[in-house]
Structure 1
Amino acid sequence: MAPVAALLLLSLASVCLPAAAENTLVYVTLLFRHGDRSPVRAYPTDPYQEGSWPQGFGQLSQEGMRQHYELGQFLRTRYRNLLNGSYDRHEISVRSTDFDRTLMSAEANLAGLYPPSGRQVFNPDLKWQPIPVHTVPQSEDRLLLFPQNDCPRYAQLMNETERTEEVVNITAEYRDFIEFVNNQTGLNNTGVESLWSVHDTLFCESRHNMTPPAWVTPDVLQKLRLLKDLSFQMMFGIYKQVEKSRLQGGMLLGEIVQNLSEMAAPDAKRRLKLKMLSAHDSTIVALQSSLNVYSGQQPPYASCHIFELRRDDNGSASVSMFFRNDSGVEPYPVRLPGCPLHCPLQDFVRLTQPSVSDDRDRECQLPPETEDKEILLILALLACALLLLIALLLGVVCWRKEPMAARGYQHVTNQDDS
């Protein structure tokens, strides 16, 4: 009898208790790095100059195209229940920096994401269809190109970063190595923050089976890799990371958070489902630093940072983040500090707010206290000059009066005395 009663109670509870709210994926923003490419430059003594590369410097390779085609296929599988089976211009928006390699990466990605079918096939022998990718000139891009060099306060922060104990100690530790690299490459005054280009050139050449010079040993590559990672950390972290974020990656983070908030609104009428951003390793580092989730290592080719917005039947929304940096495994979850993986949207907005500036142009100006110190210094110098002038005038007056006083009392002869 007892088991029957227990079963009856469970049945009643399942009927009377409210069902758990269904959690539905409604919107995705993803930021990825371009695919494999040729180096952006060669050092002076490099045996492989621009003519050694089929399309020249900084161009997407066939391997880079394959990487992004594969990423597009992965996205098609992951979001098959979110996106329409065929391309719908209302569902996706694509933005790229104005570089050949990022534009071509986006196009290769879209080829994997939206293979044409049905009426979208315009050539039976071609499993591809054109899909728009939008961009702006590099000089006007304040969303995806970092670091931005139009900010005096950021330049000041970078100067202060170079004088921090951590950077000073590493620079001293690797001073002989930096001099060695200078001598071998023919570069002048190469510092920690610029050695990344030497590593990048050698890394690209190694991926394309080019024989390195004799001085490029595994130990040299390991040291270059360490200093290259340090240069990324210097740009967006190590010293006053939150303020750097407000002046750099926080601009992109603010845009993403705003879009998430708009798409989560119960009365949102927008049909957009996917926002795709094609950019660079520095873009991902700037964004992840503003989220305080950067691992300290350079994001690999075709790596992808994902924001997924979910909404339940009660109208509550949450944001989940994932990072795909290896095509052989599933993207690993990324937790915003202070929040669970499925972070309530209102908490996500609150926790990211310190990294987002309300007036970036104003914050880019040098701090008022710096200007005040300069003004006080000028006033102090003027006051000193004025006091010196007054002292000189008093000295002249006293000097001119001194002969009169030296004569002392003299009897004045009047007419009657004579």
Structure 2
Amino acid sequence: MRLSVTLTPLMILLQGVLPLTLAQERMLRFVTLVYRHGDRSPLGTYPTDPHKAAAWPQGFQQLTEIGILQQKALGQFLREKYAGFLSASYKPQEIYIRSTDYDRTIMSAQANLMGLYPSSDPEIGWRPVPIHTVPIKYDKLLKPPTRTCLRYQQLMEETIKLPSYQARMESWKGFVTETANCTGLKLEQLTLRGLWRVHDSLFCQKTHNLTLPSWATPQVLATLSEIEAFNVEAHVGMHASQEKARFTGGLLLGAILSNFSKIVSRDLPLKMIVYSAHDSTLIALQGALGIYNGHPPPYAACHGFEFYQENNNSFSVAMFYRNDSSQQPHPLALPDCPTPCPLQLFTHLTHTAIPQDWDAECQNASRGTGHTVTALAAAVGLLSVALIGVGILYWRR
């Protein structure tokens, strides 16, 4: 699950030579991008928070001006990277953008597109580009509802019972009690997710140069960060990681591979699909690929898939990860596969992470309940029609 991005001198030399030779040997056919939204305000607050909502003019959970600039910079980077691949102006037959149904991700996609398609008309500072979305409760692709997935919850219960998990939680017991005293939260509220929300609030305040409360020392922040990383690892690894991946990142990975197959069969005319989502989306996707390195994706982090047609008419997949705007993106390698990875091998190595029927594998009772409710509704409808018919006959008589 560890990802190495160290570049040897030979790799650095080849990076300068390969663009010329690869242009002759392979052709870029399709690109998929998955990125996290830009900088945002905290998700919420806590009772003793000295700043509360007043510190955030746009409210909680919203994209900030910093976040807008981060996404615009990412869009400008993508414009430069794919200048010879995408048209200079938006064409619906070339690109499709989908976002989760949150203000910050939709606005991030808009800011990104400002950089990707800059307006050449001085009277029009920004040309609108359509962004598609799905209501949150139906969006299994980018925000799988694992809380309602029975099998995933069973796996998490097994994870929590691990001696190693219990030992770590015991080691933080005193820290949690002290945090409750400092934040005004009840102990039962300071689950791992509750601690993460406290850390999120402090992290956002620090990023925006707000004065932190005196108890939020560097050591406290470091411990909260450690707890956050532990919580993420518990959800994507630690126990039954391959099966967990099927419920978290498997659907998105399957959709990406399905699109590659459509390119091969010429059923998909697009050149690029873009997903504007969250750190959890990227973590789940990289967990399904077996390359998550334990570091949560920063704001505007971008994972790219490039689909190539080789000179022998075979197909391959290359990946990159841009998690630092001051550096070039890191090439990503699928374990046990060269880069670019032949499509057949890429598909073979990832097939265990892709669910065939997400709901069935979740063992959700709601599937059967849904069919029962539908059948009952149909029966009631037919009975209503029959009663109306009898009433009409009686009235006529």
* Short-chain TM bin: 0.7 to 0.9
How do 1:175-186 residues align onto structure 2 when only pairs under 5 Å count?
175-186=173-184
Aligned partner of 1:105: which letter?
S
Query: 2:73 matched to which residue of 1?
Result: 70
Cα shift at 1:311: 0.5
2: distance between equivalents of 1:195 and 1:146?
22
Query: 1:405 matched to which residue of 2?
Result: none
1: distance between equivalents of 2:232 and 2:192?
10
Q: Give the gaps of 5 or more residues in structure 2.
A: 1-21, 366-397
Cα shift at 1:147: 5.2
Find 1:296's aligned residue among 278, 281, 294. Answer: 294
2: distance between equivalents of 1:271 and 1:229?
40
SS at match of 1:46: coil
How do 1:52-63 residues align onto structure 2 when only pairs under 5 Å count?
52-63=55-66
Aligned partner of 2:260: which letter?
L
Aligned partner of 2:31: which letter?
V
The answer (yes or no) to whether the contact 1:146–1:282 under 8 Å persists in 2 is no
What does the per-residue CA deviation read over 1:267-318, in whole Å, with 9 as the maximum and x for residues that have no partner? Answer: 5153311110000000100110011100111100000000000112321111
How do 1:267-416 residues align onto structure 2 when only pairs under 5 Å count?
267-268=265-266, 270-365=268-363
Q: CA RMSD in A?
A: 1.7
SS at match of 1:195: helix
What does the per-residue CA deviation read over 1:171-226, in whole Å, with 9 as the maximum and x for residues that have no partner? Answer: 11111111111111122221334321111110000111110101000000000001
Residues 1:218 and 2:221 are matched in the alignment? no
The answer (yes or no) to whether the contact 2:28–2:309 under 8 Å persists in 1 is yes
Query: 2:243 matched to which residue of 1?
Result: 243
2: distance between equivalents of 1:151 and 1:269?
32
1:61/1:359 CA distance change after superposition, 3 Å: same
Question: Looking at CA atoms only, which structure, 1 or 2, has the larger radius of gyration?
Answer: 1
Cα shift at 1:125: 3.2
Cα shift at 1:148: 2.7
Report the number of matched residues.
342
SS at match of 1:247: helix
Residues 1:259 and 2:259 are matched in the alignment? yes
What does the per-residue CA deviation read over 1:233-253, in whole Å, with 9 as the maximum and x for residues that have no partner? Answer: 112211101111112210111
SS at match of 1:319: strand
1: distance between equivalents of 2:148 and 2:262?
29
2: distance between equivalents of 1:153 and 1:82?
42
Aligned partner of 2:274: which letter?
M
Cα shift at 1:131: 0.2
Cα shift at 1:337: 0.8
Q: Give the gaps of 5 or more residues in structure 1.
A: 1-18, 368-418
Find 1:81's aligned residue among 59, 81, 84. Answer: 84
What does the per-residue CA deviation read over 1:20-61, in whole Å, with 9 as the maximum and x for residues that have no partner? Answer: 972111110010000001001101211121232101000000
Cα shift at 1:146: 4.2
Moved over 3 A (4+): none
2: distance between equivalents of 1:310 and 1:295?
26
Deviates more, 1:168-177 or 1:186-195: 186-195
Find 1:155's aligned residue among 153, 156, 167. Answer: 153
SS at match of 2:29: strand
1:146/1:269 CA distance change after superposition, 3 Å: closer
The answer (yes or no) to whether the contact 1:236–1:245 under 8 Å persists in 2 is yes
The answer (yes or no) to whether the contact 1:31–1:278 under 8 Å persists in 2 is yes
Query: 1:380 matched to which residue of 2?
Result: none
Query: 2:123 matched to which residue of 1?
Result: 125
2: distance between equivalents of 1:80 and 1:261?
25
* Identical amino acids, percent of aligned pairs: 47
1: distance between equivalents of 2:45 and 2:130?
33
TM superposition score normalised by structure 2: 0.83
2: distance between equivalents of 1:194 and 1:236?
19
2: distance between equivalents of 1:269 and 1:226?
46
What does the per-residue CA deviation read over 1:102-134, in whole Å, with 9 as the maximum and x for residues that have no partner? Answer: 0000000001000123xxx4xx33331000000
Query: 1:208 matched to which residue of 2?
Result: 208
SS at match of 2:147: coil
User: RCO (CA 8 Å, sep 6+): is it higher in 1 or 2?
Assistant: 2
SS at match of 1:153: helix
1:187/1:338 CA distance change after superposition, 3 Å: same
The answer (yes or no) to whether the contact 2:31–2:306 under 8 Å persists in 1 is yes
What does the per-residue CA deviation read over 1:39-88, in whole Å, with 9 as the maximum and x for residues that have no partner? Answer: 01101211121232101000000000000000000000001111112211
